[in-house]
Structure 1
Amino acid sequence: MMIADYHMHTYYSDDSQYEMEEAVKKAISLGLHEICFTDHVDYGIKLEHDDYMRLSDEERKNKVANVDYEHYFEEIHHLQEKYKDQITIKQGMEFGIQTHTIPAFSTLFNAYDFDFIILSCHQVEDKEFWTQDFQKGRSQQDYNERYYQEILNVIKVYKDYSVLGHLDLLKRYDLEGEYPFEKTKDIITKILKIVIEDGKGIEINTSSFYYGLKDLMPSKNILKLYYELGGTILTIGSDSHKEEQVGAHIKEIQEELKKIGFKQICTFDKMKPIFHDL
C-alpha cells in the first residue's frame, strides 16, 4: 500500500525552521514511499523573497517572505538525486490564493515545473485567520460564509492546482466552536462539484490530530459528501512543520477513507494524478 505524505513544510516556509534534508531522512526512517514538498506562498500578505532580502533589518520587522524559489527547486532536485534509491520526492507548493492574487499565482505557476499544487485559503481580504483579524467584527455565520465564498470565487477562475487543501481550515481558528456542517453544506456542495468537474481533488490534512480537533480535516461529513458526489481524487498530507509531524496519522486516515467507501488515494506527477489502491 502506498504511504505518501503530500503536505510538507520546511525552512522555505516562513513558519518553519525544519531543514529539507532532515524531512527526507525522517520520511525514509518511517518507511514512506513518497513525499511532496509544499512550502507556502501567500501573495497579498508576504513579500517576494528577493524583495524581502533587500530590506534593512529594521524594515523587515513584522514582514515575512514567500519561498526562495531558485534555491527551493535546486535543493529539491539535489535531494531527488541523492535519495532516488530510497524514496520518491516530488516538488509542489501550497498556494494561499485570494481572488485578487490570482494573477500573481498564474505567473508563478507558469514559471516553474510542478508535480503538485495545493490550493488553500489562508486569508481573506489580506486578513489572517490565526490572528483573528478576519473574524473580528463578523458573526460566526458571516465569517464562515465569507470564507467558503472566497474559495468558490477562486476555483471558478483558477484551475492550475491539484487539490484543495484542508477545506474546512477555518474551524482550526474558530473561537466560537465548530460551525454546523448543515449551514455550509450548500456552498461546500457547489465547491466540490466544481472540483470534480475540473478533474481536481481534495486533501485530508492530518494536522487535525495535533491541533486537537474533534473531527478530521476536512470533516467526515465533507468527505462523505465528496464521495457521494463522485469525487475520487484524494491526497493525504501531514502539514508538517517539524520532525514529529512528518507522516503522522497517514495510515489512520487511509482506514477512515475505506470506511467511507473510497478505494484509492493519489500521488501526483507533473500535475497528473496517479491512483493507488487502499
Structure 2
Amino acid sequence: MMYLKYDSHIHSEFSTDSAAPMEVMARAAVERGLLGITFTDHYHPDYPDFLHRTGQPTSAYHSAIERTARQFSGRLEVLRGLEMGVLTGPTLPACEAAAEAYSYDFLLAAFHSTRSETFDGLGRARTMAPEQLCLHYYSHVLMCIRAFQNYDSLAHLNLVDRYAKTPAGGGAAREVLDEIYRTVIAQGKGLEVNTSSHRYGMGTRTTPTLEMLRRYRELGGEIVTVGSDAHAPEWVGSHLDEAGVLLRAAGFKHYAVFRKRSPEFFPL
C-alpha cells in the first residue's frame, strides 16, 4: 500500500470553526511527510446558523494562501481551494461569483443545510426517522448539483450519516444516490473520500462507504479526491492510509489532486 501524499481538504482560521493559522497547518503537513495540501475554507453565504454564515472569500484569505505557498516553497505544495455551501435560489449566483473571483485550484461542493435548517439540527431534533432524513438530505444534494456545476468534487457525500443516528440510505435514498452519481459523472466531477469519519467514530460508515464507492465506480465514476477535513493541526493528513485501503477495495487504482480546476491522477 502506498501512503497518500496529498490532503485536499484543509481548514484554517479563515473558517468560523477553526482557529489554526495556515502556517501551523502547513507545518503539520510537512512534519507528516505530505507533498501537498489544499486549503478549502468555508464559504456559506446563506447558512441558517448566523454564527457560521460567511461572506465571500476576501483578499486576506487569498493573500494568506499565497504567502503560505511562498513560505513553504520547495517543502510543500500549497493549493488554493474553497468549500462552498451550495444552496438553490439566490445562493447560486453568489457561489458562481465566489468561484470565479479568484484563480482557485479546487472547489468542493458541500451540503450542510437547506435554506431554513441545518442537517445536524434535524438530526438532534429527531423529528424525522433516519430513512426520511437520508432521503431529505440526498434529494437536496441532487437538486443543488442539477442547478450548480461550478465545483470539482462533492464533499463528504454521506455527511447525513453523522446525524441520522441509525444507518440508513436504502430504498428510495439509494435511487436518489444513483442519480447523484450519474449527475456527477456526466458533469465530469468527482467524489471526495473524507477521512473525518474516523475521528467521528463512524466505524464502517466511512465517508463515503465502501458500498457507495463501489456503486459510483460501477456507474462509471473515476474521479475521487481525498481529504482529512482537518480543522486543527493534529488532524492534517490523518487516516490517509485508511482512505487508500478503502479506495483500493472499491476497485480504484488512483486518486485525484486538482490543480487549476483540473484533476491530476496519482497511483494508490
Name the count of aligned residue pairs: 264
CA offset at residue 260 of structure 1? 1.8
User: What whole-Å deviation, never above 9, does each CA across 1:195-215 have from its counterpart, x for those lacking one?
Assistant: 011110000000000000022
Task: Work out the CA distance in 1 between the residues paired with 2:132 and 2:147.
Answer: 23
User: What whole-Å deviation, never above 9, does each CA across 1:213-237 have from its counterpart, x for those lacking one?
Assistant: 0221011111110111111101110
**What does residue range 62-77 of structure 1 map to in structure 2 within 5 Å?**
62=51, 64-66=53-55, 68-77=57-66
* Structure 2 counterpart of 1:268: 258
Contiguous gaps of at least 5 residues in structure 2: none
CA offset at residue 103 of structure 1? 1.4
CA offset at residue 126 of structure 1? 3.0
* Structure 2 counterpart of 1:181: 170
**What does residue range 38-187 of structure 1 map to in structure 2 within 5 Å?**
38-45=40-47, 62=51, 64-66=53-55, 68-100=57-89, 101-132=91-122, 137-175=127-165, 177-187=166-176
Q: Is the 8 A contact 1:95 1:117 kept in 2?
A: yes
CA offset at residue 18 of structure 1? 1.1
Contiguous gaps of at least 5 residues in structure 1: 48-60
Task: Work out the CA distance in 1 between the residues paired with 2:12 and 2:138.
Answer: 28
Given the two structures, how large is their TM-score scaled by the length of structure 1?
A: 0.89
Provide the identity percentage.
Answer: 31
Task: Work out the CA distance in 2 between the residues paired with 1:269 and 1:62.
Answer: 31
CA offset at residue 62 of structure 1? 5.0
User: What whole-Å deviation, never above 9, does each CA across 1:51-77 have from its counterpart, x for those lacking one?
Assistant: xxxxxxxxxx95753465211110110
After superposition, the CA RMSD in angstroms is 1.9
Which 4+ runs in 1 deviate beyond 4 A? 61-64, 133-136
State the secondary structure of the residue aligned to 1:266. strand
Given the two structures, how large is their TM-score scaled by the length of structure 2?
A: 0.92
Task: Work out the CA distance in 2 between the residues paired with 1:72 and 1:203.
Answer: 23
CA offset at residue 250 of structure 1? 0.5
**130-139 or 234-243, which moves further after superposition?**
130-139
State the secondary structure of the residue aligned to 2:41. strand
